[in-house]
Amino acid sequence: MRYVRYSAAGKVSYGTLDGETIRELNGDIFHGAEPTGKTVNLSAVKLLAPCEPVNVVAVGRNYKSHIADRNIAPAPFPGLFLKTRSCIIGTGENIIFPADANNVHYEAELVVVIGKKAKNVTKADASKYIFGITAGNDVSERDWQKNDLQWLRAKASDTFGVLGPAIVQGLNHNDLLVECRLNGEVRQSQRTRDLIFDIDTIISYVTQYATLQPGDVIYTGTPGNTKPMQPGDIVEVEVEGVGILRNGIERAVAAVD
């Protein structure tokens, strides 16, 4: 099943996507939404981020290819951080750099969407808590990430959490291709089988400390090397079987005192 969240005629709805046809649902997909019988063409709607998470968890340094050039050894446990729900945007929206951001990188990632309340989940049971998979871009300002005490600016500035275009069920999350393209050029490409900590391990680890709610998301890490983006660029993240997450880049105007 492929779920989308969209805006049409001033109304925000969830729906199931089949080809170019969206079948409207009457509520929240995490709490038993049913078809309304109405349909709309994909071209007639604005796709939004496919869920509205309360908790946005992310894992850093989770591919050996991402830490190799930094001479960093893999950590003994997943390195967790949080992004804010207010930084989340969907496909087609612009990523807006703060006026003083000068080193903003793409980070293509597979993102897990949680389907039910999860606390103290075992690795063996972790897959039972997955609602589906989506694509994400964990946009990151590297200078701030290096120099700030915490990563609020670096990882959670407005528009720095991109999700979409859909939530897809039935995929083998342990072996999917994650790819990033900048202006059509492939910049990242690796399969999730190369994760240092696999997705079931991540879910189990996170829920030993934090309770996850339906609709919460976990960014699972980015592969390879990343480079800066510039205003005017188009960045695409594609997770195999999910679709293409496409965003333009612009810079905010500096505030004037």
Q: Using one digit for the tens of pLDDT, what is the confidence trace for 199-217?
A: 999 999 999 999 999 999 9
CATH number at residue 98: 3.90.850.10
For residues 31 and 65, membership in a common domain is answered with no
The Cα–Cα gap between 183 and 186 comes to 9
Identify the sign of the CA torsion 39, 42, 48, 53.
positive
For residues 118 and 6, membership in a common domain is answered with no
pLDDT at residue 87 in the model: 99
For residues 154 and 88, membership in a common domain is answered with yes
Residue stretches of the chain with pLDDT short of 50: none
For residues 40 and 70, membership in a common domain is answered with no
pTM of the complete model:
0.97
Give residue 218's domain range. 56-251
Distances 98 to 11, 35, 59, 231 between C-alpha atoms, Å? 30, 40, 23, 11
pLDDT at residue 253 in the model: 92
How would you class 175 by CB atoms within 10 Å of its CB: exposed for 0-12, middle for 13-18, buried for 19 or more?
exposed
pLDDT at residue 69 in the model: 65
Number of structural domains found in the chain: 2
- Collapsing DSSP to helix, strand or coil, 36 comes out as strand
